[in-house]
Structure 1
């Protein structure tokens, strides 16, 4: 299978979490909670809103593309030559939420960024799961 230069790949991470979608949504959209599991940010869940994620290694420029409360969140993720889109999808399942994160837009020549994102998102998901556990069940 040949890879055309216009083809892109995605990193997908999926988890079933023992928390309701409303609680998971809060962790994905409230800046003080995003700070705890992802990076420092000035995020607001409003389509068209620009925001920045700041880590030790640098920053990510983002713009909100879509907001469907408790269901779907999508934003651009531009950093170090990578122009991609991160989409979060929340689906209620018995006793919790299936959370899927897809980061799309990796070009064939961005193998290092692709592999780094796969590793990074798995780590971020671990931090997100720890945060959700700390938030307590009353945090809807």
Structure 2
């Protein structure tokens, strides 16, 4: 699975075409998923970051940790956009899981 290429698609805007090119870096079933995040478009400035999801069993269920690393100091707009987007995504994920 390492090296597998895939694309994530979202709604485009004037600064971003909505396409994120990704490459799997690591997979440990039921424990870890890590992949590159390469947003296309003018505002992305060829910024490539790494997204990692880690699952850890707890007495109450499973703890999910999500981290996106690799932002440069000149990419504050990208960092703020990612922070906003991941908060929305994880809140929705929490809502979906709560409904199971």
TM category (shorter chain) comes to 0.7 to 0.9
Structure 1 unaligned spans of 5+: 1-45
Q: Is 1:103–2:68 an aligned residue pair?
A: yes
TM-score (norm 2): 0.84
TM-score (norm 1): 0.61
Could you say what secondary structure the match of 1:116 adopts?
A: helix
Could you say what secondary structure the match of 1:119 adopts?
A: helix
Residue in 1 that maps onto 2:20: 60
Structure 2 unaligned spans of 5+: 13-17
Q: Is 1:73–2:33 an aligned residue pair?
A: yes
Residue in 2 that maps onto 1:132: 97
- Compute the displacement of 1:131 (Å): 2.3
Work out the CA distance in 1 between the residues paired with 2:53 and 2:88. Answer: 16
- 1:1-140 to structure 2, matched below 5 A, reads 46-57=1-12, 58-79=18-39, 80=44, 81-134=46-99, 136=100
- Compute the displacement of 1:47 (Å): 1.5
How many residues get paired? 90
- Compute the displacement of 1:50 (Å): 0.2
RMSD of equivalent CA atoms: 1.1
Work out the CA distance in 2 between the residues paired with 1:94 and 1:120. Answer: 29
